[in-house]
Amino acid sequence: MGRRVVITGAGLVTPLGTGTDKTWAGLIEGKSGLGPITRFDATEYSCRIAGEVTDFNPTDWIAKKDLRKMDLFIHFGIAASEMAIKQAGLIATEENASRIGVMVGSGIGGLIAIQNQAWLVKERGPRRISPFFIPSALINLISGHLAINHGFKGPNHAVVTACATGTHAIGDAANMIRNGVADAMVAGGAEAAICELGIGGFASARALSTRNDDPQGASRPWDKGRDGFVEAEGAGVVVLESLESAQARGAEIIAEVLGYGMSGDAHHITAPEPSGAGAAACMTNALKDAKVNPEQIQYINAHGTSTPLGDVIETKAVKSVLGDAANKVMVSSTKSMIGHLLGAAGGVEAIFTAMALQKGIIPPTINLDDPDPECDLDYVPHTAREVDIEYALSNSFGFGGTNATLVLKRFS
């Protein structure tokens, strides 16, 4: 089993607001952070809606002179990480620096920088390429900047597994602590791909909702009217520590990371395996790792993207894993309110799951007006629910058939 791993800090940047408390308040109110795209002129695009972060000021966390060295996803990742580090009260010293690591990933990374520099070289030639272009776009540079800024000399790593990135990062970092490789890890995901290439690419793959006249109603997991996900941006990062480390520092503990599961569909580059066997194996592996029985799970923060195929398949997987207990479990998709943050989604949703355990409030699934008959679980429709729970799952599934699940427990 190894050492116990707990969450002592959390940071969020989402379409509901910059800051963990602001996002959580909007979530529990059932607010939507989705709207028309303002980042560029989307008139000619089939999808003209997204989940943009509208209240973000990067100079609150990053020196103005350094901003141009980083793409927007790095800004988001650093901001969320700084929030988590501050809440945890984590400080590197000469004695502990080599025992503190960083593992913040991204599904796509610096797509905005790549797009804009490609346009620049085409229009004005290679001499116009920024010397900061490459480090501004590299996915591991969130971890790099954080380690440099704080003197964290432990594992320095980044995960890249599409929409499962944040969950894999937290799970992999937790395992490093369990196995004694580190005592504390800053882990999660960040994404900023709302640009011409990002929206155009997902739209061409027919993955996005085209409910352009109703942005706040466009993300509707498990509803008959769902027609694709709404792309969003932001970051979700946690500080993980061994229980001994957290207690020695007197840190407040948000929740415990009890188990971690992974699997691969081995089926298709974008579509999930139709029976849900891959997702089911992932959840089963996480439960085995946590030594928790299926009937003990009271809440699942689902991947729940609002795609016609994905929502049905995840429902099948939950039923397969939980059996009769599936009729009692609460399942919500917070993507109904914040959209799909791609590589940041798993980090954000793990934080939502941890806070649901800590605060005894289950976030709702909004826009579930006409449930798909194939999606017949308790999706906590419309309104948050005050319920004390002890065990919860957080699911993330990515392109390429990569799956990740965390088991979290209310700390006691």
Which pLDDT tens digit goes with each residue over 20-44? 999 999 999 999 999 999 999 999 9
Which is the catalytic residue, given 145, 150, 157, 340?
340
Measured in whole angstroms, how far is the alpha carbon of residue 140 from the centre of its chain?
A: 16
Per-residue model confidence (pLDDT) at position 412: 87
DSSP bridge partners of 49: 36
Of the candidates 47, 163, 195, 282, the residue annotated as catalytic is 163
Please identify which of the residues 75, 145, 150, 303 carries the catalytic annotation: 303
Q: How far apart are CA 333 and CA 283, in angstroms?
A: 16
Contacts of 214 (CB under 8 A, 6+ apart): none
Task: Please give the domain boundaries of the chain with CATH numbers for all domains.
Answer: 5-249 (3.40.47.10), 258-409 (3.40.47.10)
pTM strictly above 0.75:
yes
Give CA separation, 272 vs 23, 228, 279, 406, in Å. Answer: 29, 14, 8, 19
- 355, 367, 368: which is closest to 408 by C-alpha? 355
Active site residue 150: no
Determine how many CB atoms are found less than 10 A away from the CB of residue 39. 16
Q: Which of 201, 88, 215, 205 is nearest to 146 (CA)?
A: 88
Beta strands in 17-93 (DSSP E): 17-18, 35-36, 49-50
Q: What is the Cα–Cα distance from 259 to 393, expressed in whole angstroms?
A: 9
Contact 87, 46 (CB under 8 A): no
Phi/psi of residue 16, nearest 5 degrees? -85, -10
Check whether 410 has a pLDDT greater than 70.
yes
Examine the residue annotation and report whether 168 is marked as an active-site residue of this protein.
no
Res. 2: pLDDT tops 90? no
Query: What tens digit of pLDDT does each residue of 79-128 get?
Result: 999 999 999 999 999 999 999 999 999 999 999 999 999 999 999 999 99
Which amino acid belongs to residue 26? G
**Helices and strands: H and E segment counts in the chain:** 12, 15
pLDDT tens digits, residue range 118-133?
999 999 999 999 999 9
Instruction: With H, G, I as helix, E, B as strand and everything else as coil, classify residue 114.
Output: helix
Confidence of residue 175 (pLDDT cuts 50, 70, 90): very high
- Give dist(CA 379, CA 187) in Å, integer: 28
Q: Which of 334, 303, 308, 304 is nearest to 225 (CA)?
A: 308
Structure tokens at 149: 């800024």
pLDDT tens by residue, 50-59: 999 999 999 9
Q: Name which of 226, 224, 70, 211 is nearest 149 in CA terms.
A: 70
What is the mean predicted confidence (pLDDT) over 361-373? 98
How many residues make up the chain in this entry? Answer: 412
pLDDT-derived band at 63, boundaries 50, 70, 90: very high
pLDDT at 1 over 90: no
pLDDT tens for 193-238 read 999 999 999 999 999 999 999 999 999 999 999 999 999 999 999 9
Q: Is 282 a catalytic residue?
A: no
Specify the pLDDT at position 76. 98
